[in-house]
Amino acid sequence: MHVETALEMTMSLGESPLWSVERQTLYWVDINRGAIYAWRPEAASRPDRLVLDEQVGCIALCEGGLLAATASGIVRLRLPFDGRPEPLAANPQWRAGSGNRFNDGHCDAAGRFWVGTLAADEQSPSAALYCVDRGELVRRRSRIAISNGLAFSPDGSWLYHTDSPTRCILRYPFDVDSGTLGEGEAWVDLEALGLPGVPDGAAVDREGGYWSALYGGGRLVRFSPAGELLASVELPCPHPTMVAFGGPGLRTLYVTTATQHLDAVGRRRWPAAGSLLSLAAPVAGLPEPVGQG
């Protein structure tokens, strides 16, 4: 699989790529810079950028705009960007400039926004997984250090999630009508598979293949619904963060990347780090659900 640089960038922590079929636009964030990007690959121009005054962990689609999980809470942003975030729910783990910021998230098919936090020291089990349903933010899982990898199987019957430092991906039986989770089970163990890095953000394709960006492992991996390793794609940088399907027919995989853990030598060695990467997807993706709100 041939990996290209879709857009040369110098992001610190690119994350949360998200495709809008309606707008034929890719959105993503640079968490550390509080930046949200919007780019139409067809237009072949530079992306639009909105900068918030705090970190932004992830984004989701909603009617007329985007939901953004900023460090301090969930906000709604109208599109085109007008720079005025509308608060929806506060982050209960955030305290005036410190605490656990929001990190990875995705909407389920009913438009609930599932989003987790990240422990300020990236180690202690003080973070949690939340779900925003009809404006109410509810804690759904606890004792997490870095909430990541949230995704759903195409039929909505499984919720995937990882606490990155454990190097394991779990799956939970999921009921989309009620939003309830069953008992979680260990699904993929990077250690047992001899895979490097930690599981970061993910996207599921039409066949139920789970694509995971291995942060520190410099590759994308694809797992079958049974948890078997089906593909491994090497990337030209060590810290890919998340993937999304986009472009015509949802046949392009977009990959965000980070420079935050590279020193000057690492940045020279990996000039593509911090850019937006792309490759032709062997299996197409699914349209992203539109969130409530």
Catalytic residues, by residue number, are 200
Q: How far apart, in Å, are the Cα atoms of 227 and each of 114, 149, 187, 207, 231?
A: 22, 14, 6, 13, 12
- Is 257 near Ca ion (CB under 5 A)? no
Q: Which of 6, 9, 31, 276 binds ligand BGC (CB under 6 A)?
A: 31
Q: Which is nearer to ligand BGC, 146 or 279 (CB)?
A: 146
Q: Which of 215, 223, 254, 270 binds ligand BGC (CB under 6 A)?
A: 215
**From Ca ion, ligand BGC, none, which one binds at residue 288 (CB under 5 to 8 Å depending on kind)?**
none
Of residues 219 through 238, those in contact with ligand BGC by CB under 6 A are none
Helix, strand, coil percent content, the chain, rounded in steps of 5: 10, 55, 40
- Is 200 near ligand BGC (CB under 6 A)? yes
Report the nearest approach of ligand BGC to the CB of residue 32 (Å). Answer: 8
- Is 30 near Ca ion (CB under 5 A)? no
Kindly report the number of other CB atoms within 10 A of residue 136's CB atom: 10
Q: Which of 103, 252, 256, 257 binds ligand BGC (CB under 6 A)?
A: 103
Q: Which is nearer to ligand BGC, 41 or 197 (CB)?
A: 197
- Is 104 near ligand BGC (CB under 6 A)? yes
Residues 6+ apart with CB under 8 A from 244: 17, 18, 19, 26, 28, 203, 253, 254, 285, 288
Amino acid at residue number 7:
L
Q: Which of 20, 25, 100, 148 binds ligand BGC (CB under 6 A)?
A: 148
Residue 76 host element (H or E): strand 73-78
Q: Choose the binding region for Ca ion from 151-159, 179-187, 193-201, 278-286 (rule: CB under 5 A).
A: 193-201
- Is 70 near Ca ion (CB under 5 A)? no
Q: Which is nearer to Ca ion, 41 or 149 (CB)?
A: 149
The site for ligand BGC, by CB under 6 A, has a size of 12
Phi-psi sector, 21: left (phi>0), alpha (psi -120 to 50), beta: alpha
Q: Which of 100, 148, 257, 259 binds Ca ion (CB under 5 A)?
A: 148
Q: Which of 68, 146, 203, 233 binds ligand BGC (CB under 6 A)?
A: 146
Peptide bond into 173 cis (omega under 30): no
Number of DSSP helices (H) and strands (E) in the chain, helices first? 2, 28
- Is 35 near ligand BGC (CB under 6 A)? no
Q: Which is nearer to Ca ion, 30 or 104 (CB)?
A: 104
* Token couple for 264: 């000057």
Q: How far apart, in Å, are the Cα atoms of 30 and each of 12, 15, 227, 241, 273?
A: 6, 6, 30, 11, 13
Q: Which is nearer to Ca ion, 163 or 200 (CB)?
A: 200
Residues 6+ apart with CB under 8 A from 144: 116, 117, 119, 125, 127, 128, 129, 163
* Token couple for 288: 């992203």
Residues at the interface with Ca ion (CB under 5 A):
104, 148, 200-201
Using CB under 6 A, list all residues that contact ligand BGC: 13, 31, 103-104, 118, 146, 148, 164, 198, 200, 215, 241
